[in-house]
Amino acid sequence: MISRKDRPPRTGPEGSPPQVAVLSPLTRGRRAPLSRLAFVVCLGAGSTSLGGCEAAEDAQVTSPYAVALGVTEAASYMDAELTLYESQTPVAFPIWKPTGSQLAALKGNDPPYPHPPYLLDSDETIEVNYTITNLDNESHTVWLLLDPWNEFVKYRPGVTVVSDDETEPNLSGIEDPILLGPLQRIQGNIDSEDMSTLALKLDTAMQILQGTYTAMSAYGAGELLNHDFNTQNTPGPMDPLLAQYTPKVVAGLTGFDLGIQSYEPVNVELEVTVNVVDTGSGKVAPPGTPRGQLIGPPPTVITVPGSMP
């Protein structure tokens, strides 16, 4: 198994080096076929690892389910400069929907949220384990993507057309580049620290989008959002561009959109396991909880201003 910290940074379609400067997002591509998703829900478990979760006496595991992402769909985006392939599926975490009394207690001004978050990042730990398999007899490079949700919003990066000669796909919340040899299978892990950082990045994006930007602004909202979601950057006081946008309270993740991207049609299978550990808040629901009692997808989609789906 390899950790995302061990992975090389993303490169463009011609193998160009990744862009580190804050003014321009990385270039990338899209697509995916078959995906199997399962939740491992640990209520009060003391470990976020899969083995530790299963060993916990109070661990509860939902039944796995399969989602077909397709292998023959057309390009998700195409112009004279760029062709992208992508398949996505929503992954909602088993979080209890807040009761009326719980919502009523969420009062006060707590930017960038309309009210203080019901679910905090400290209420849970999240870990994602995946197996990705190349079903083709030739090598492919694909990117595994996670675009985060919290109870307020979900992030959708989109594609920005800069000019007739330049198109830039905006950065997803997490992008893991994966080089697959013929018929190769690779296991990977996105740990709880990375998922907590993802929660902070989404909240920072909400704050960025509440700003006002003009032609005189040093950076636009799109540049700041791509800087925020660049995996080389972490919001906080040490980042001079993001310090003023970093919220003091971090809302917890309630799910994500899972996707695979490629610059070419591929035949790839993705198996994902999400470990959701309740740290004592009682907000993680047990397996079998009716969907109507869960918090579900957020009501609002945020994206880079002016981008295309």
pLDDT digits (tens, 9 = 90+) for 16-37: 333 322 222 323 333 333 445 6
What is the C-alpha separation between 200 and 211, in angstroms, rounded?
17
> Are 198 and 218 contacting, i.e. CB atoms less than 8 angstroms apart?
no
Is 10 inside any structural domain? Answer: no
| Alpha helices (runs of H) in the chain, residue ranges in sequence order | 50-55, 100-104, 192-208, 221-229
Q: DSSP 3-state assignment of 36?
A: strand
Q: What is the pLDDT of residues 272-286, one digit of tens each?
A: 888 899 999 999 998
Q: Which residues of 156-193 are buried (b: 16+ CB within 10 A; e: fewer)?
A: bbbbbeeeeeebbbbbbbbbbbbebeeeeebebbbbbe
pLDDT for the residue numbered 165 = 73
pLDDT for the residue numbered 184 = 95
Q: Which residue has the tokens 């909602």?
A: 92
Which positions ≥6 away from 307 have C-beta within 8 Å?
A: 157, 158, 159, 160, 170, 222
Is 132 inside any structural domain? Answer: no
Q: Within 10 Å of residue 233's Cβ, how many Cβ atoms?
A: 19
Domain containing 84 equals 22-122+141-266+282-302
* Closest listed residue to residue 156, CA positions, set 40, 307, 290: 307
Is 54 inside any structural domain? Answer: yes
As beta bridge partners, residue 178 has 142
pLDDT for the residue numbered 153 = 98
Bridge-based pairing state of the strands 34-43 and 268-278: parallel
> Are 286 and 60 contacting, i.e. CB atoms less than 8 angstroms apart?
yes
Q: Which residue has the tokens 């160009």?
A: 16
Q: Within 10 Å of residue 114's Cβ, how many Cβ atoms?
A: 11
Is 272 inside any structural domain? Answer: no
pLDDT by 10-residue block (mean), the chain, 309 residues: 38 34 30 50 48 42 38 76 84 94 91 96 92 88 93 95 80 92 92 97 98 91 96 94 95 92 86 88 91 95 91
How far from chain centre, in Å, is Cα 174?
A: 5
Is 11 inside any structural domain? Answer: no
| Number of domains comprising the chain | 1
Tokens of 21: 């400067």
> Are 130 and 272 contacting, i.e. CB atoms less than 8 angstroms apart?
yes
Is 5 inside any structural domain? Answer: no
Is 273 inside any structural domain? Answer: no
pLDDT for the residue numbered 299 = 93
Q: Which residue has the tokens 């003009």?
A: 214
pLDDT for the residue numbered 292 = 95
Handedness of CA 262, 265, 269, 271 (dihedral sign): positive
As beta bridge partners, residue 43 has 278
Q: DSSP 3-state assignment of 145?
A: strand
Q: Report the alpha-carbon angle 89-137-186, nearest 5.
A: 55
* Closest listed residue to residue 49, CA positions, set 128, 148, 122: 128
Backbone angles phi, psi at 199, to 5 degrees: -60, -45
> Are 228 and 125 contacting, i.e. CB atoms less than 8 angstroms apart?
no
